[in-house]
Amino acid sequence: MQKNSIVLPSWLTNKAVFQQGVSVRVKAKAAPTATVTLEITKDPTDGRRVSKLDTDYGVIFSREYTTGSKGEFEFEIPAYQASLDTYTFTFRCMSEQIMLNDIRCGDVWIFLGSDYLSVPMKDANAPKMPLKRNVMNNLRFFSPARSGLCGEVKEYPYEPAGSIEAGEWIKVRETDRMAEVSSSAFAFAYSMSDQVNYPIGVVDLAFDDSTIINWISPEAMEDIEALKDMVYEAGLYIDQEKYDELISIDNRKKEAAKLEAELEEARKHGDFDFEKEKRLAMLKGEPAPKEETEAAEEAAAELDFPSTSKEEEAKKAADDKPLSASSASKLEFDLLPEVHYKVDKKKDDSRFIAKRFRMSTLYNTKLNPLSGMAVRGFCFSPNAGELRFERYDLYLMGLLATLASVFEPRQVYNDELMPSMLFATMHPKNVDFDNPYSVLEFNENIQAFTKILTMPSGLVSLHDMLLPDRTISFTLGTRLATIALGLHFSPKMSKSSPEVSEVEIAGNKRILKFSNLSDGLKLVEGETELRGFSICGPDRIFKPAMARILYGMCVMVWRDDIEEVEGITYGFTPIPHDAVLRNVADLPVMPFRFDRDAAFFAPDLSFAECDRLEFVGKRTPDSNFEVLDIYRTFKGNGVIATDVNTKASGAASLHIRYETDKSLYGFEPVLDYASMFAPINIYGASKIVINVFNPEQRRKRLICSGFGESEIKQQLSWQKIVIPYEGEGPISLNELKIMIEDSDRVGEIYIDSIGFV
């Protein structure tokens, strides 16, 4: 008799973790019309002897099932409670037996999406902290190939895969394989298990070169018509014909890259292969090899996202320009002739679609093979490419519909067993300098979406971690664990990053109360001033505001020159480096605005506070975040420091010791950093106000570019210098050069609280 292998679900292997508290269905295959048995035994982890009369141990489950004509069978394992005990699953069919050992019952979490959830352990640094051996023993990870392509498979299939090749659960002590596991997943699992003291399993699926559309199933796309229309209008809808065309393009790209490398190597030796040159030209859609031109180089600009109808005419001329043979490495075939295809009798012209924008690829390879797996919850992190998607809530609906169709439990009769959805917000590193507020608006949309969900949900922000740091992914995992514990285990813990929940009016002041406070509010370590708030009146012009933490539980916000408060924002700048407020559980307060009405939002005026010399920003649009100098000397020589004792207000003032050049010393805030978004437009003001202290009581003058000049009085007290703006319309600053005119060669001056009125 022919022996047919028992084929089990991809998620059920040795060392697996299965979900506690719910029944678990195991759908598998064996020989047709044969009897399959499943026997589950349970043994204490500590190896103690157990009485044969103890029904909690030994064989605790035994069932048999007669397979159908195609060999399908299904077992429903009853709900078990989480414990440190060991389970063994034994499947038998005729003479075949599969025994799965070292299985545990605990909580199972799914990690999917992009950065930072996808950063592997080998590319991250864990914060220095002692790790407990007993906790490490409770952690298990299911981590297939990041891209979803296993073995010899080079292309994503159009149809869903039935299994994950080489998928297997691993333990922490398997160090070689743990190097590839998500560092966020490890931090999450460790933090969770340390608190609940039972096994935590994480299915680590996140892939840094993915977008949400990769994870949505075709069925979810069809069921949500508005989403399908949106994807179609974006030029991202893929049917079989379209997909085959994309694979053909992929193959042409690969062949072109190979030919280009061969030709480049041959040129180094003075050899020419005209047949290969012709083949390369044909692959690129050129009639014949041509010399490089400036126009060809410009046409080689990368395009990996379909152009919208508004962009088509603008790009058409550049797209039609010929490309030289040596441009292939830059081109990467992202510029190609238009592909025509039909959907529901509609016709659409679409360009090449990069893999990170191809619908359902990771659903097919990573999610569908896990069908039927019971889970506690999901963690999702977006990709910068998703800023291009309109109506992001529709994509989120598609993602949730997909997850609901794949994972169990699908019907929940006890709210405590309802799976949760945890989101990481988009990091400010993805700021779009053409649309600076897009990341903030994107995060607002996720925040609004969580409010309408019936399932438990939470949001984690990383806006307070700007500097490149190999520990960020670990921090994200720890923060996700904090809100997971709040959602499922402790009502006193935070269920999300803190958000404004209530506002009280006290004259011209507003007292803000927050949700998810845990044990209260605090400032980031090292900060002494509460920053990041701005306020507006009926004119809708936001200005930096004063703020103070009250009783550790709420924040009072005000501005003396605004009596009728219309709106408040916090951290609502493209680079929210001033957002320093968090709760005691180390979750940062989400940047917010009271409404989305049209307004002039407060620009970054951190230089005006004059109480620090550095801030975190971007030198250029493409550079990483770094610590940058706020001020620099442009004329003469000077040493700029802060003084916490001599100040007009705030935490400190600028104390400048200078040496003049032709009786002038000049300094300025550096406004040409990309993250300053100059020109800085200041609405509702026509004058600059600078507080000055002249310790030498010598005759001096202050000269301010764009505003004029004023005498600095010979008095031993702070003086407020007001100078009108010389331009027309709102104050617009590409630079703000401030000079001190002093007839003596050396001197000193204090500057504090630069304002605009």
- Residue 306: predicted pLDDT: 57
Architecture of domain 609-756: Sandwich (2.60)
Length of the chain: 757
- Annotated domain spans of the chain: 17-217+360-488, 245-348, 499-602, 609-756
Of 208, 196, 227, 12, the C-alpha closest to 123 is 208
Judge whether 389 and 203 are in contact, CB under 8 Å.
Answer: no
Q: Which residues of the chain have pLDDT under 70?
A: 1-4, 47, 51-53, 272, 285-351
Q: What are phi and psi of 112, to 5 degrees?
A: -145, 170
- Residue 11: predicted pLDDT: 95
- Residue 328: predicted pLDDT: 30
b/e burial code for range 483-520 (CB count within 10 A of at least 16 → b): bbbbbbeeeebbbbbbbbeeeeeeeebbbbebebbbee
- Per the structure block, which two tokens stand in for 594? 């009271």
- Residue 304: predicted pLDDT: 55
Q: What are phi and psi of 659, to 5 degrees?
A: -130, 120
Cα(347)–Cα(138) distance, integer angstroms:
54
Q: Where do we find the tokens 């904090």?
A: 482
- Burial label, 606 (beta-carbon count in 10 A; 0-12, 13-18, 19+): buried
Judge whether 74 and 25 are in contact, CB under 8 Å.
Answer: yes
- Residue 336: predicted pLDDT: 30
Judge whether 571 and 591 are in contact, CB under 8 Å.
Answer: yes
Domain at 17-217+360-488, CATH from 3.40.50.12780, 3.30.2290.10, 3.40.50.1110, 3.40.50.300: 3.40.50.1110
Cα(35)–Cα(689) distance, integer angstroms:
87
